[in-house]
Amino acid sequence: MQPYRPNLGATLDLIETPSLLIDLELMESNFDVISKTYSNTLCKMRQHAKNIKCPDILWRQIEIGGTLNGVCTAKVSEAEVMVEGGIRDVLITSEIVGEDKQRRLAYLAKRADVKVCIDNETNLNSLSLIAQEIGSEIGVLIEVDTSMGRAGIRTAEQGVELAKLAESLASIKFLGVMSHQTVDGFADKETRFIEGKRYIDKCLAVKTAIEDHGIEVTIVSSGETFSYDVAPQIEGVTEVEGGTYALMSGPAKYMEEFSLAGKVLTTVIDVTETEIVIDAGLRCLGGPLGVTPTIEGHDELTFIEMHDSYSVLSVKEGNIFRIGQTLFICTSQQDILVNRWDNFIGVRDGVVEAVWDISARGCHH
């Protein structure tokens, strides 16, 4: 059975629910912000595909401008989808471990400019051996842990030693350094600039240490949505790994220049005096543990139960909702949400203009 696809030209009232919608005007406005921000900068956006998972939409940002005509992904399988979709410049932002995945990476590097981050000698040596066997060259960036406490080197000295090793290995091309960081909770512009610069400076310190040993660093990939306007002002940063800005999410609404473009259309299927039930549940909504979605334009509604296929919401006072009424759900994290859907329904002025397959959905490897 094929996934549901509405007809082009259909109006909102004809779209089956639940459905994942993109307000095209808002998404394009978000893309315009990036285009204008990076129009006259050496640093460019490298859009993160783990958020959108759809080459067709990623191409829209490339066409509008502000990017380096490439993307980044979290997994080899996502990178394969991007290359199949015609994107020739891909950075994989996580360490790739395991012979099968490394072989796929090496073969993919023969077809496109595919790079990967590394943070240890074992991983780097195995990549070199497999790339030699297959006859490809893999570009590598050293991941620097600036704040996340997961992968990445912790000291500049570690970075220097890894860069030296990468320079000495066959079928490996050392390219530079990268980092990813986040900011918790609400952050005004001043806080974003202070925190963003503090984290990015840690990555740049590793770059400087490597260059002090006579090794060229051509790429510094750092920054993300919260620091999209910070990174271009810091000398030495060549690209920013932003993804959230494209569709946005509830917790990032303090960044008022961007709009929430990705929403789930749902229908009220039952009404009591103090509650309503909608036809969207955990199977089609997603977000960090403990963070619930909200309903656009209805602060009086609160999620109190989320089941597989349905959710129950309380109404503060005076339940005026009716069975059959449609609502828009605003989710707290787009990456998890998008991975639960087969396609995006692009809507402009209440009319379906496009339906795009989410072709990197389920790419976990």
Residue 9: CB atoms within 10 Å: 9
Per DSSP, 299 falls in state T
Half-sphere exposure of 128 (CA within 13 A, CB side): 16
Residue 339: CB atoms within 10 Å: 17
Report the relative pairing of strands 275-278 and 311-315 from DSSP bridges.
Answer: antiparallel
Half-sphere exposure of 152 (CA within 13 A, CB side): 21
Q: Where are the beta strands (DSSP E) in 318-365?
A: 326-330, 343-348, 351-357
Question: Using CA atoms, how far apart are residues 328 and 104, in angstroms rounded to an integer?
Answer: 40
pLDDT at position 290 is: 64
Residue 53 phi/psi, 5-degree rounding, is 60, 25
> What is the amino acid identity at position 246?
A
- Could you tell me the fold of the domain covering 26-247? TIM Barrel (3.20.20)
| Distance spanning both ends of the chain, measured CA to CA | 25
Ranges of each domain in the chain: 12-20+256-357, 26-247
**Residue 12: which of 331, 358, 327, 362 has the closest Cα?**
327
C-alpha torsion 294→298→301→303, nearest 10: -10
Question: Using CA atoms, how far apart are residues 265 and 16, in angstroms rounded to an integer?
Answer: 9
| Torsion-angle region of 39 (φ positive above 0: left; ψ -120 to 50: alpha; else: beta) | alpha
> What is the amino acid identity at position 65?
G
- Whether domain 12-20+256-357 has CATH 2.30.30.60: no
Same fold flag, 12-20+256-357 and 26-247:
no
pLDDT one-digit tens code per residue, 126-174:
999 999 999 999 999 999 999 877 899 999 999 999 999 999 999 999 9
**Residue 248: which of 334, 345, 338, 336 has the closest Cα?**
334
Cis peptide before 18 (omega within 30 of 0): yes
Contact 35, 322 (CB under 8 A): no
- pLDDT digits (tens), the chain, 365 positions: 789 999 999 999 999 999 999 999 999 999 999 999 999 999 999 999 988 999 999 999 999 999 999 999 999 999 999 999 999 999 999 999 999 999 999 999 999 999 999 999 999 999 999 999 999 999 999 999 998 778 999 999 999 999 999 999 999 999 999 998 877 666 678 888 898 899 999 999 999 999 999 999 999 999 899 899 999 999 999 999 999 999 998 766 778 899 999 999 999 999 999 999 999 999 999 766 667 899 999 999 999 999 999 999 999 988 999 999 999 999 888 888 999 999 999 999 999 999 999 999 999 99
Supply 329's token pair: 């759900």
